[in-house]
Amino acid sequence: MPPARLSISIVTYRTSEAMLEQCVASLALSVERARDAGLASEADLFVIDNGAPSDPAPRVDASAWRHGAPRVMHGHGNLGYGGAHNLVLEALRSDVHIVMNPDVEVDPEAVGAALTALGSHPRIGLVAPDVYDARGERQYLCKRYPSVWVLFLRGFAPAFLRRRFQDAIDRYEMRDTIGERFVEGIPLASGCFMAIRTPLFVRLAGFDARYFMYFEDYDLSLRLATHAALAYSPEARIVHHGGGASAKGWRHMRWFVGSAWRFFSRHGWKIA
């Protein structure tokens, strides 16, 4: 398997300098490990800032990245998560493109594990990682197709109601499947970290930018699955510091509900 050419896009929005530095430093080390193992060659980093044009552009230390000069894109305003990632489509010259959040820390072996999975399984088009929170607890971000009911339970229902229907939530979160073994054929992957074959990502025109935030990753997963399989790799480990929509206030809840409506209207309604 020849070394893969890599590209990575990170979308920021008023992200703290410390968080971005932590993200880039962990990613740089993981890419370096993959290169040392003969799995990766060059790696292009794109940081796309969705802040206001008057906001200062994020700073990325080229010496911290260690893989060439990172490209910072700024001044376009807030295009939403998927729309911002799509800005790099015409510039991609890679074999594998990684989409990720700035609130992610990448394990030193994660990039190599994702490249190994793609190289070993030609039918796989996307690799999703094993995700943990800052306390070391697994986040079950690979999902089965959702119902309106289970989304309500996870995002908005009181604790006693979630406990009563925990089995439905657990099934949606694939807790019976996700663990210490490689899984091919996951239905939905999280946009906090996706390793995708670049030609396939470009052919699909990236994310559907009509999803301003939320569900753009589920939509991409379903469109991608008509061309290739999605897989989960336990060796591709990351730490994710993000949270749910309901914890971020009414604006995020409104975006979540609007994107859910668009998703179900396009892919099919499942009430319970």
Q: How far apart are alpha carbons 138 and 7 in whole angstroms?
A: 27
CA–CA distances in Å: residue 205 to residues 92, 130, 200, 202, 217: 12, 26, 9, 5, 13
Candidates 3.90.550.60, 1.10.3210.50, 3.40.710.10, 3.60.21.10; correct CATH number of 4-142+179-241? 3.90.550.60
Amino acid at 54: S
Indicate the pLDDT class of residue 21, thresholds 50, 70 and 90: very high
Mean pLDDT, range 176-181, rounded to an integer: 98
Is pLDDT of 244 > 70?
no
Q: Which residue has the higher pLDDT, 249 or 102?
A: 102
Asked if 187 and 85 touch (Cβ cutoff 8 Å), the reply is no
Has this prediction a pTM greater than 0.85? yes
Mean pLDDT, range 36-61, rounded to an integer: 95
Terminal CA-CA length for the chain: 45
Q: Comparing 28-37, 96-105, 108-117, 249-258, which segment has the lowest mean pLDDT?
A: 249-258
Mean pLDDT, range 209-235, rounded to an integer: 97
Indicate the pLDDT class of residue 85, thresholds 50, 70 and 90: very high
Is pLDDT of 245 > 80?
no
Is pLDDT of 246 > 60?
no
Asked if 98 and 193 touch (Cβ cutoff 8 Å), the reply is yes
Mean pLDDT, range 19-24, rounded to an integer: 96
Mean pLDDT, range 104-128, rounded to an integer: 98
Please, what is the average pLDDT of the chain?
A: 95
Asked if 65 and 165 touch (Cβ cutoff 8 Å), the reply is no
Indicate the pLDDT class of residue 243, thresholds 50, 70 and 90: low
Mean pLDDT, range 229-241, rounded to an integer: 97
Q: Alpha-carbon dihedral of residues 122, 229, 219, 241, nearest 10 degrees?
A: -80
Picking from 138, 144, 218, the residue whose alpha carbon sits closest to that of residue 180 is: 138
Which residue in this structure is represented by tokens 């469109």? Answer: 223
Q: How far apart are alpha carbons 222 and 174 in whole angstroms?
A: 16
- Looking at residue 155, its pLDDT comes to 87
- Looking at residue 24, its pLDDT comes to 96
Is pLDDT of 148 > 60?
yes
Indicate the pLDDT class of residue 13, thresholds 50, 70 and 90: very high
Residues facing 132 on adjacent strands: 138, 239
Indicate the pLDDT class of residue 82, thresholds 50, 70 and 90: very high
Q: Which residue has the higher pLDDT, 252 or 77?
A: 77
Tally Cβ neighbours within 10 Å of residue 108: 14
Q: For the chain, give every domain's residue range.
A: 4-142+179-241, 146-176+243-272
Is pLDDT of 240 > 70?
yes
Q: Is 75 exposed, middle or buried, given 0-12, 13-18 or 19+ CB atoms closer than 10 A?
A: exposed
- Looking at residue 168, its pLDDT comes to 97
